[in-house]
Chain A
Amino acid sequence: ETGVTQTPRHLVMGMTNKKSLKCEQHLGHNAMYWYKQSAKKPLELMFVYSLEERVENNSVPSRFSPECPNSSHLFLHLHTLQPEDSALYLCASSQDYIRGTGLKKGTEAFFGQGTRLTVV
């Protein structure tokens, strides 16, 4: 148990469906992230939120739409996905997002268990 909870754990959706992934952290962290893990590829950072403000969008297609209503919750809204979007989607959080000051202990990211998404 890392303190980061993702729901659902598994999701199968059609290409015309709209669904949302949910992430919740109980660690009091200020930064939250969405990562994508495709088969045989490294983890790819998708979005970063710091203090509920989006600070990073890594050229992610608009069919993925993040939402961070507060520092404990993060959503990823999905619509008109493609089969190649099938992957494991991981949420993570860290204590802070520290701009320009470098890392220090405590800024490691803690991950949720992920949502296994299959687009059919």
Chain B
Amino acid sequence: DQQVKQNSPSLSVQEGRISILNCDYTNSMFDYFLWYKKYPAEGPTFLISISSIKDKNEDGRFTVFLNKSAKHLSLHIVPSQPGDSAVYFCAASARGSNYKLTFGKGTLLTVNP
């Protein structure tokens, strides 16, 4: 049973446009959410996170939105750049087991020049 779902395996966007990556979760105990970015032949790198007490967190071109009632979060990248092309993983953690990140399968983002 997959508790964190990224239903789009891939997304293609034009440079300069907005990229929206989606993530759904089923475990209502999750209270912390993270996005990781992964280039080929490299490990994932932390990108941005959000606590369940917030509905939005912004860091430069990256904004994460959390809709707790829908158990949905999204990552917005504006404007998208070719260097943003990578696999993006959504991850979640529950209070009391914060070290245990549950990951989605990832979405491959391709930003075309």
Interface residues of A (CB under 8 A from B): 2, 4, 6, 9, 31, 33, 40-43, 45, 48, 50, 55-56, 90-92, 94, 97-103, 105, 107-114
Asked if B32 CB lies within 8 Å of chain A CBs, one says yes
C-alpha spacing A114/B95, complex, angstroms:
27
B contact residues, total (Cβ < 8 Å): 28
- The closest CB in chain B to the CB of A9 belongs to B41
Determine how close the nearest CB of chain A comes to the CB of B108; give it in whole angstroms: 12
Report which of A6, A33, A43, A102 forms a contact with B98, defined as CB distance below 8 A.
Answer: A102
**A interface SS class:** loop
Q: Which of B4, B101, B104 has the most CB of A within 10 A?
A: B101
Given the known interface contacts A2-B43, A114-B43, the answer about A109 and B96 at a Cβ–Cβ threshold of 8 Å is no
Report which of B36, B43, B101, B105 forms a contact with A41, defined as CB distance below 8 A.
Answer: B105
Q: Are B104 and A42 in contact (CB under 8 A)?
A: yes
Q: Are B45 and A100 in contact (CB under 8 A)?
A: no
Determine how close the nearest CB of chain B comes to the CB of A21; give it in whole angstroms: 13
Between-chain CB contacts (< 8 Å), 16 pairs: A31-B99, A42-B89, A43-B103, A48-B99, A48-B100, A50-B99, A98-B98, A102-B95, A102-B96, A103-B98, A107-B98, A108-B34, A110-B45, A111-B43, A113-B41, A114-B42
C-alpha spacing A94/B44, complex, angstroms:
13
C-alpha spacing A45/B51, complex, angstroms:
21
Q: Which of A4, A9, A92 has the most CB of B within 10 A?
A: A92
Given the known interface contacts A42-B2, A42-B103, A56-B100, the answer about A105 and B45 at a Cβ–Cβ threshold of 8 Å is no
Asked if B49 CB lies within 8 Å of chain A CBs, one says yes
- Specify which chain B residues have a CB less than 8 angstroms from the CB of A40 in the assembled complex: 105
* Interface positions of B from 50 to 92, Cβ below 8 Å from A: 51, 89, 91
Q: Are B95 and A94 in contact (CB under 8 A)?
A: no
